[in-house]
Each structure stands twice: as structure tokens, then as C-alpha cells.
Amino acid sequence: MKFKKLLKQIGAFFGSTAGLFFLDAILYNPFAAPMWGYALALFSLSLGGLSIHALLQDAKKEKAQKELELSKKIVHLISEKYGKTILA
């Protein structure tokens, strides 16, 4: 799991950096840039954006999992204290 997260972080960094680098080169001299340069810039920026999106989705899942575990602990503590079974 950590390896996948590391790959997503690497993809986000290098994709965004490469995309901005190629975009900067194209904007500096747009008439000298070949068509594959435009495609490479858009592809790199898309890769970086998708990686960032995947990282944000993973963070949301981790947060939801932590909240679920915390609510289970709270329900367990309440049921221990009052001697009743509470279904969550």
C-alpha cells in the first residue's frame, strides 16, 4: 500500500514538473515547438493531475476509515460503561 502511495507521489511530482517545463518551453517560443511538444505537455500535466487526484482520494478514504474506527471505539466505551449493547 505504501509503495502505491509512493508511486502516486512520484507521478504527481514528475508529471506536474515535466508538464510545466514543456509548457514553459512552448510558451517561450510557440512557433518553434513541434506538435508532439504540445501533446507531451498536456500528457504530463494530465498525469500529474490524475496522480494528485488519486492521492486526494486515498487521503479521504484514510480519514473515513479513521473516523469509523474512532466511532466504533466510542460505541464500545459507552456500551462498557452503561452495560448495554449499542449497535452502530
Residue with the bigger pLDDT between 5 and 1: it is 5
3-class SS of residue 83: coil
How many domains does the chain fold into?
Answer: 1
3-class SS of residue 29: coil
Indicate whether 87 belongs to any domain.
Answer: no
CB 13 within 8 A of CB 50: no
Per-residue confidence band for 69, with pLDDT thresholds at 50, 70 and 90: very high
Indicate whether 88 belongs to any domain.
Answer: no
Q: What value does the mean pLDDT take over residues 63-86?
A: 82
The pLDDT mean for the chain works out to 80
pTM, two decimals, is 0.63
What does DSSP assign to residue 30?
A: T
Indicate whether 28 belongs to any domain.
Answer: yes
Residue with the bigger pLDDT between 85 and 37: it is 37
Indicate whether 68 belongs to any domain.
Answer: yes
Q: Which domain holds residue 52?
A: 2-82
Q: What value does the mean pLDDT take over residues 59-78?
A: 89
- pLDDT above 60 for 4: yes
Backbone region of residue 20 per phi and psi (left: phi > 0; alpha: psi in -120 to 50; beta: other values): alpha
The gap from C-alpha 46 to its chain's centroid, in whole angstroms, comes to 13
Indicate whether 23 belongs to any domain.
Answer: yes
